[in-house]
A and B are shown apart, each in its own frame.
Chain A
Amino acid sequence: MNKKILITGLGAISAAGNNAAETLASFRVAKRNAGQVTLFETPLRYPVFEVRGLPGEFYLEGQRTLGLALGAVDEAMKNARLNDLSDFRVGVCLGTTVASQLNDLEFYKSYRDTGSAAMDSVNRYLKGNPAEFISRRIKAKGPSLTVVNACSSGTDAIGAALSWLNNGLCDIAIAGGADEMNRIPLCGFGSLGIVSMDLCAPFDRDRKGLNLGEGAGVIILETKESAGKRGISSDLFLAGYGSSSDAYHLTAPHPEGTGLRTSIKKALTDAGITPGEICFVNAHGTATPDNDLVEGNVLADIFGTHLKMLSTKGFTGHTLGAAGGLEAVFTAAGLREGWIPASAGFENKDDAIPLIPLREKTNIIGRYALSTSLAFGGNNAAIVIGRL
């Protein structure tokens, strides 16, 4: 059983709340903070989950993803009482989608129309690699890496950080993901026909697609030796990670969920536990017909039909590169708090899915929980979080 890597801090910012405490309060009363896009002009009328009232100290002109990341990192570091990094090799591994792309429409339009364009947005982009930015901001001395694995980026970033720690490349790792509400994915996902005009309903019979969201979720991972040296302890640990590719299609999951199945089994093996020891699963649950059908069936196969399962995307929307980070925080918080929220948006059972997500806030008893991510490109990833 892998209990070497502790989770000593949690930080989350999303439409559900500007920190973990606000998020749990929203979860408790099943509050869904969705609305129309306010961050930019668009004719698209999809409901989205934007972060409202980003604290001013985290506002960065033209770099919203970094601001969100900074907010979550700040909370996680305070939660971990991580102030002076000078004696530790601290790695930063963050997932994203939007911040990796130079996609400034005004810059490009100017270049296209006139053959020249101001370099402001290029300069922001070149200075805005999320992991590098955060690493420099907090003066970390360990490795930094930005993972761009589409919707599994956050989970895969946590997995990469686990590998760093297991291999002695750092003592502490700040891991998770961040993504902003942005015109490009809004148009792109819209063009794929998988965005709902209604509030999303993960695993529901009548689900019509996803809602986009934004946010950042970060966990502080730390070797026991490092935590001991800092004089802190934690009841949470990252027990395992598994990842596998479908080798099937650029945008659709494998119909049998082969990659997801393998990822979950690898994560369980990595953790040294059996499926029966998982007390709940925070599913990817985007509310697209394909994702939920495949994922629901795989989870039922592995864990049985009485599994306690939810998707938190009904509270946050699909936050893309941030999703794995946010859901890791929610999974860890659920284990620690001993309850998990209702799977927001679910009303009617889909007969093609042998699982029913939680309809109400539910107490949980157990020591392990799983969080899953499926992504464009056929990437699948899963992490197991444990509580001592």
Chain B
Amino acid sequence: MNINGIGIVFTRGRGIDCFENALKDGWQRPDEIEIKGRKSFVYQVGPQTMSDKSLLKKMRRADKLSKMAVLAAADALENSGIENINKKTIGIITATAFGAHVTTFDFLNDILDYGEANVSPTTFSNSVHNAAASYISSALNIQGPTLTVTQFFFSFHSALQLAKAWLDEKRCDYVLVGAVEQYGDVLGYIYGSKLMQATDGRIKPFNFNPAYSVPSEGAVFFLVSNEDSENVFCKVEDITTRHSRESGNPAPIRTDLNIIDTDGLLIDESVYMSSFSPEIPTAAYSPIFGSMMIGSAFNCASGALMLKKQLYCANPVSDNPRVINVLDETKNSGIEFIRCIRYNCLNEQAVIQLRAK
């Protein structure tokens, strides 16, 4: 399966070029906000990034989650450079952990303020988990199978795995597969209650324990297919989920770089250290886009971009208290394989194996 195009909406803007610049520029301080007397850092997607009036004109009532998803999906399609795709042959798989929780809480406001018989049907419609995928479908006139899936740690991996299955079964010729998450003050409160928040705004991916988080939001979509188009970023060689130590050692995978999903969403991220080998450099790009359950999709985009450009991008944050082999220099060099690694709270591992075209 090839990655033919990528679309991204994140705290620093929109588009794969913007993301590439962010990877090269390194860490930037997140916004500091105050909600209900509590200060915290957060990476939010600003109104400038969401200002596309032509694409969003059909969805004025949609929430931010859906708009971010539509922008990223549309950009992935355009970025592929593939023209005249039959929209009936494109599938959509949207992964999310928390879905439209901000709109759900708006709906709860309706119930509390106006009573159960006087709630807004528009708010309810937009609070449904698959609203974002539905907007992608209608905004881009895509009529293939359209699915929304949810898990807390491996939703993107599961979506990518299913996209590959759909392509191999020929259920569709292309799949727009991606992930979206929105920040909201309730989620920020939950993160603050359950996780260690970075009081200086810096996620330190190689600290492992304690692990610091900065809540964030954004969307990434990939146009994937078995087609070898001009603009192919890389191949997705394999996707595995839920590999545990109890199930034995995984087959050795050749890699030139490990990208790890450490972002503070596990209280103790020491489990990642078991996936290193001294001779393979490791990178973690969560300080660029923040802490999200769907952060794997952003790291996968980083890997795909580096394989396409044959460019190693240095870690955005240099803290390395365990003195492991981290990627500390941005440089052009041959890269053939990149392994993207995520663990969940049960120490189960998911891996996306990328290979240069």
- List residues of A whose CB falls within 8 A of some B CB: 42-44, 97, 100-103, 105, 108-109, 111-112, 115-117, 119, 122, 126, 129, 131-132, 136, 141-150, 156, 159-160, 163-164, 166-167, 169, 183-184, 186-193, 243-251, 258-259, 262, 266, 375-379
B156 to chain A, nearest CB (A): 12
> In whole angstroms, what is the CA distance A142 to B240 when docked?
10
User: Is there an interface contact between A243 and B147, defined as CB atoms closer than 8 Å?
Assistant: yes
Residue picked from A42, A100, A166, most chain B C-beta under 10 Å = A100
Contact digits for B187-202, partner A, Cβ 8 Å, 1 yes 0 no = 0011001100000000
Q: Which residue of B lies closest to A156 (CB)?
A: B147
**A119-B190, A119-B194, A149-B133 given; 10 more Cβ-contact pairs under 8 Å:** A109-B108, A132-B151, A145-B162, A146-B150, A149-B146, A149-B147, A163-B169, A187-B124, A244-B88, A244-B143
B131 at the interface (CB under 8 A from A): yes
| Selected contact of B152 from candidates A111, A132, A375, CB within 8 Å | A132
Residue picked from B87, B92, B189, most chain A C-beta under 10 Å = B189
| Selected contact of A150 from candidates B119, B130, B166, CB within 8 Å | B130
User: Is there an interface contact between A251 and B158, defined as CB atoms closer than 8 Å?
Assistant: no
> In whole angstroms, what is the CA distance A109 to B105 when docked?
10
With contacts A103-B104, A129-B150, A187-B119 known, is A243 near B112, CB below 8 A? no
User: Is there an interface contact between A141 and B147, defined as CB atoms closer than 8 Å?
Assistant: no
Question: Residues of A contacting B321 with CB < 8 Å?
Answer: none
> In whole angstroms, what is the CA distance A192 to B125 when docked?
9
B98 to chain A, nearest CB (A): 7
With contacts A143-B161, A148-B99 known, is A108 near B108, CB below 8 A? yes
Q: Which residue of A lies closest to B113 (CB)?
A: A112
User: Is there an interface contact between A103 and B108, defined as CB atoms closer than 8 Å?
Assistant: yes
User: Is there an interface contact between A148 and B148, defined as CB atoms closer than 8 Å?
Assistant: yes
Q: Which of the candidate stretches B24-32, B134-142, B331-339 sits at the interface with the other chain?
A: B134-142
- List residues of B whose CB falls within 8 A of some A CB: 36-38, 87-88, 92, 98-99, 101, 104-105, 107-109, 111-112, 115-117, 119-121, 124-131, 133-135, 137-138, 140-152, 158, 161-162, 164-166, 168-169, 171, 186, 189-190, 193-194, 241-242, 247, 346
A40 to chain B, nearest CB (A): 10
User: Is there an interface contact between B169 and A102, defined as CB atoms closer than 8 Å?
Assistant: no
List, sorted by A's number, 13 A–B pairs whose CB atoms are closer than 8 Å. Answer: A100-B99, A102-B186, A132-B152, A147-B148, A147-B149, A148-B130, A149-B130, A163-B162, A187-B107, A187-B117, A246-B137, A247-B142, A259-B143
> In whole angstroms, what is the CA distance A346 to B145 when docked?
32
User: Is there an interface contact between B112 and A109, defined as CB atoms closer than 8 Å?
Assistant: yes
Question: Residues of B contacting A115 with CB < 8 Å?
Answer: 36-38, 189
**7 tightest A-B CB contacts, nearest first:** A377-B134, A188-B124, A115-B36, A148-B129, A243-B145, A245-B146, A163-B165
Q: Which residue of A lies closest to B109 (CB)?
A: A112
User: Is there an interface contact between B129 and A100, defined as CB atoms closer than 8 Å?
Assistant: yes
> In whole angstroms, what is the CA distance A357 to B165 when docked?
37
User: Is there an interface contact between B161 and A169, defined as CB atoms closer than 8 Å?
Assistant: yes
Question: Residues of A contacting B158 with CB < 8 Å?
Answer: 143-145
Q: Which residue of B lies closest to A160 (CB)?
A: B162
User: Is there an interface contact between A101 and B149, defined as CB atoms closer than 8 Å?
Assistant: no
> In whole angstroms, what is the CA distance A147 to B145 when docked?
13
User: Is there an interface contact between B151 and A145, defined as CB atoms closer than 8 Å?
Assistant: yes
| Selected contact of A108 from candidates B38, B105, B133, CB within 8 Å | B105
Q: Which residue of B lies closest to A263 (CB)?
A: B145
Question: Residues of A contacting B99 with CB < 8 Å?
Answer: 100-101, 148
User: Is there an interface contact between B36 and A188, defined as CB atoms closer than 8 Å?
Assistant: no
> In whole angstroms, what is the CA distance A248 to B92 when docked?
15
A95 to chain B, nearest CB (A): 10
User: Is there an interface contact between A188 and B148, defined as CB atoms closer than 8 Å?
Assistant: no
Question: Residues of B contacting A250 with CB < 8 Å?
Answer: 125-126, 131, 134-135, 138
User: Is there an interface contact between B101 and A244, defined as CB atoms closer than 8 Å?
Assistant: no
User: Is there an interface contact between B112 and A141, defined as CB atoms closer than 8 Å?
Assistant: no
Q: Which residue of A lies closest to B98 (CB)?
A: A102
User: Is there an interface contact between B189 and A379, defined as CB atoms closer than 8 Å?
Assistant: no
User: Is there an interface contact between B165 and A167, defined as CB atoms closer than 8 Å?
Assistant: yes
B119 to chain A, nearest CB (A): 5
User: Is there an interface contact between B241 and A97, defined as CB atoms closer than 8 Å?
Assistant: no
| Selected contact of B145 from candidates A109, A122, A244, CB within 8 Å | A244
User: Is there an interface contact between B152 and A42, defined as CB atoms closer than 8 Å?
Assistant: no
> In whole angstroms, what is the CA distance A24 to B133 when docked?
36
B274 to chain A, nearest CB (A): 20
User: Is there an interface contact between A101 and B165, defined as CB atoms closer than 8 Å?
Assistant: no
Question: Residues of B contacting A145 with CB < 8 Å?
Answer: 149, 151, 158, 162
User: Is there an interface contact between B146 and A377, defined as CB atoms closer than 8 Å?
Assistant: yes
User: Is there an interface contact between B111 and A187, defined as CB atoms closer than 8 Å?
Assistant: yes
> In whole angstroms, what is the CA distance A187 to B117 when docked?
7
Q: Which residue of A lies closest to B243 (CB)?
A: A141
With contacts A245-B146, A262-B143 known, is A251 near B125, CB below 8 A? yes
A245 to chain B, nearest CB (A): 4
Question: Residues of B contacting A146 with CB < 8 Å?
Answer: 149-151
Question: Residues of A contacting B101 with CB < 8 Å?
Answer: 101-102
| Selected contact of A188 from candidates B115, B119, B130, CB within 8 Å | B119
